[in-house]
Copies of this chain bind each other. A is one copy, B any other.
Amino acid sequence: MTGFAARLRSALDRHGPLCVGIDPHPHLLEQWGLAVSADGVREFALRTVEAAAGRVGVVKPQVAFFERFGSEGYAALEATLAAARDAGLLTISDAKRGDIGSTMAAYAAAWLEPGSPLESDALTVSPYLGADSLRETLTLAVRHGKGVFVLAATSNPEAAALQSAHPIDVASTEGQTVAQRVARDVSWVNGSAAFDGGLGPVGLVVGATVDRAEFGLTDEVLRATPLLAPGFGAQGAEPHELHSLFGALAGNVVASESRSILSAGPTALAARIDERAALYREHHDG
């Protein structure tokens, strides 16, 4: 079995950093002429998978928009994940789950255990209950060749106060921030084995426009860390800025775009994906 880090490295090398976010927002469903229902969500997501196949390496379904329709929405998500897998796309389920003990283990099993209805290549998780509460999840991910992206420094302004706060317990290091502490507390996994292509299986969510230094997230800390970066496309950052924004870490970046792509509508979707993916590759190779 090839682990997540190697699969991700290979997908990024082949297709470039663009990740297509699958966000069946009610507003987009209407724009696409689809019903605001589980059926509409299913149609929207399957068409997006079809358009993404062969054009990018990674898709990221936003779980909330499926959950909105309960069990039927989840059935649509299962179909979407299966279609993506069949199409050779890596899937990052953006669920931002976070809990403790056996509850967190149940979330991990739901998304990362082979054969589970919601099986994905990777899952986004939240560390509010302490990064160490995710320890078992990270271990399970590695065992099954899966990946995890832990929320660290996100690009939304409301988050800055919490994520740049300073822990003052005995384990903290002078001047460390919450985001840095999260990075430290989950990075042991990336260091515990030799992984291909310089990446480990435990990534962080770090906004494209975040001042990483302010959060203590230096290049050295993030060297082996896949970075799921919201903030590209409609949210402001542009493909040609990948290198100026991420420098030596540009090769670690999964650049997630949703609205900028999905707003093309179903007919122009494939062409829009081609166009955006090419913009990243152009600057990536250069």
- A residues with a Cβ closer than 8 A to B are 23, 25, 27, 62, 64-65, 67-75, 77-78, 96-104, 106-107, 109-110, 116-118, 126-133, 151, 154, 156-169, 171-172, 178, 181-182
Given the known inter-chain contacts A129-B156, A158-B129, A165-B178, please indicate yes or no for A71 contacting B68, CB distance below 8 A. Answer: no
Most buried by B among A23, A75, A78, A103: A103
Please name 7 further chain A to chain B contacts, defined as beta carbons within 8 Å, in addition to the given A70-B117, A71-B72, A133-B159, sorted by A numbering.
Answer: A62-B106, A64-B103, A67-B106, A67-B118, A70-B78, A162-B182, A166-B166
Most buried by B among A64, A97, A118, A128: A128
Assembly CA distance A232 to B246 (angstroms)? 47
Q: Which of B62, B67, B106, B154 contacts A129 (CB 8 A)?
A: B154
**Chain B residues, Cβ within 8 Å of A151:** 128-129
B167 touching A161, Cβ below 8 Å = yes
Given the known inter-chain contacts A110-B64, A110-B70, please indicate yes or no for A181 contacting B162, CB distance below 8 A. Answer: yes
Q: Which residue of B has the minimal Cβ distance to A155?
A: B100
Query: What is the count of identical protomers in the complex?
Result: 2
Assembly CA distance A64 to B98 (angstroms)? 10
A100 touching B154, Cβ below 8 Å = yes
**Chain B residues, Cβ within 8 Å of A118:** 67, 70
Q: Which residue of B has the minimal Cβ distance to A64?
A: B106
A67 touching B169, Cβ below 8 Å = no
Distance from A101 Cβ to chain B, minimum over Cβ atoms (Å): 8
B104 touching A159, Cβ below 8 Å = no
Q: List 26 A-B contacts (CB under 8 A).
A: A25-B102, A64-B107, A65-B106, A67-B107, A67-B110, A68-B107, A69-B117, A70-B110, A70-B117, A71-B71, A74-B74, A96-B98, A100-B156, A127-B128, A128-B163, A129-B156, A129-B159, A130-B160, A130-B161, A130-B162, A130-B163, A133-B158, A161-B169, A162-B178, A162-B182, A164-B167
